[in-house]
């Protein structure tokens, strides 16, 4: 044990929860982290107060909170993903003739970290550093669609969690579930006029070494063109980025 045992225990809890597909009961956390019941109880309550753990009372289970996602996104924002993604995005834009961007989840928003503009295309609101509501963007939906349902519920517990831009898009937990379910059947995320009227996007997730969605790769195009870009080139780019981050998935999960 280190000289700061409470910190060590908290990090063990975070590491354990990060490896679980779904939230877990307190007993499972106690066994995995070798914690007495009273210690585990007080520790997770302190982590709940700071947003790193969420308690699903109805299920009597504990999962990662929004602050844990923000910490993970912070690592991504510090440069590795941007450096890996910039050239593949430029090549993707050259192939399809539409602008492309990469975004990471930041609470209930997406934060744009890479953007490649296609020559002659309309300006977009997705400049690097811009934040937009994740549930309205194709890139955000691509990430949300790869998260456990319990974590999506923690991010969007009720109608108050849903921002609006153009009057379009899901405005309740049930509406968001329907959008994500249709997205999984389709094989990729879409949005049409929910961020900017007259513009639409398609997106797929980028996965890390745990096959966790760490970013959304999206292509945005004006809706007055003949039709949306074909998703195959987008899928190849997303799969290539995922493999460079250590993903073990041979075929992209949304294809």
What CA–CA distance (Å, rounded) separates 111 from 167? 21
In the CATH scheme, what architecture does the domain 70-244 have? 2-Layer Sandwich (3.30)
Task: Tell me what pLDDT residue 164 has.
Answer: 93
Q: Which fold has domain 5-64?
A: Arc Repressor Mutant, subunit A (1.10.10)
pLDDT, position 219: 95
| Cβ 249 vs Cβ 241: under 8 Å | no
Q: Do domains 5-64 and 70-244 have the same CATH topology?
A: no
Strands (E), 186-247: 189-192, 199-207, 213-222
pTM attached to this predicted model: 0.69
Contact yes or no for 208/214 (Cβ under 8 A) = yes
Q: For the segment 90-149, what is each residue's pLDDT rounded down to a tens digit?
A: 999 999 999 999 999 988 999 998 889 888 777 788 778 889 999 999 999 999 999 999
- pLDDT value at residue 255: 46
Q: What kind and span of H or E run contains 62?
A: strand 61-64
Residue linked to tokens 């039709």: 227
Residue 242: the pLDDT is: 92
Long-range CB contacts (within 8 A, 24+) of 158-166: 161/108, 162/133, 162/135, 163/108, 163/133, 163/135, 163/136, 164/136, 165/132, 165/133, 165/136, 165/194, 165/195, 165/196, 166/193, 166/194, 166/195, 166/196, 166/197
Burial of 220 (C-beta count, 10 Å sphere; 0-12/13-18/19+): buried
Q: How far, in Å, CA of 151 to CA of 65, rounded?
A: 8
The pLDDT of residue 20 is 87
- Residue 123: per-residue pLDDT: 73
Integer Cα distance of 97 and 110 in angstroms: 24
CA pair distance 101, 218, nearest whole angstrom: 5
Residues of the chain where predicted confidence (pLDDT) is lower than 50: 254-255
Ordered by start, the domain boundaries in the chain are 5-64, 70-244
DSSP string, 1-32: --S-HHHHHHHHHHHHHHT-SS-B-HHHHHHH
């Amino acid at each position: 044990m280190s000289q700061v045992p409470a910190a060590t225990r908290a990090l063990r809890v975070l590491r354990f929860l990060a490896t679980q597909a779904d939230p877990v009961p307190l007993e499972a956390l106690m066994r995995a982290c070798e914690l007495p019941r009273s210690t585990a109880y007080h520790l997770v309550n302190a982590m709940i107060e700071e947003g790193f753990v969420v308690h699903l009372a109805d299920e009597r289970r504990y999962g990662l909170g929004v602050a844990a996602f923000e910490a993970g996104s912070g690592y991504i924002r510090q440069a590795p993903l941007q450096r890996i993604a910039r050239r593949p995005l430029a090549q993707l834009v050259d192939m399809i003739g539409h602008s492309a961007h990469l975004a990471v989840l930041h609470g209930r928003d997406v934060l744009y970290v890479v953007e490649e503009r296609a020559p002659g295309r309309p300006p977009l609101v997705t400049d690097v550093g811009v934040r937009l509501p994740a549930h309205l963007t194709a890139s955000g939906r691509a990430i949300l669609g790869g998260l456990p349902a319990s974590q999506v519920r923690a991010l969007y517990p009720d109608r108050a969690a849903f921002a609006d831009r153009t009057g379009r898009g899901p405005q309740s937990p049930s509406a968001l579930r329907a959008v994500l379910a249709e997205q999984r059947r389709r094989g990729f995320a879409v949005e049409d006029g929910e961020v900017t009227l007259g513009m639409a996007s398609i997106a797929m997730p980028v996965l890390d070494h745990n096959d966790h969605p760490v970013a959304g790769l999206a292509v945005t195009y004006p809706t007055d063109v003949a039709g949306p870009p074909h998703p195959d080139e987008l899928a190849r780019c997303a799969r290539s980025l995922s493999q460079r981050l250590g993903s073990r998935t041979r075929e992209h999960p949304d294809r």
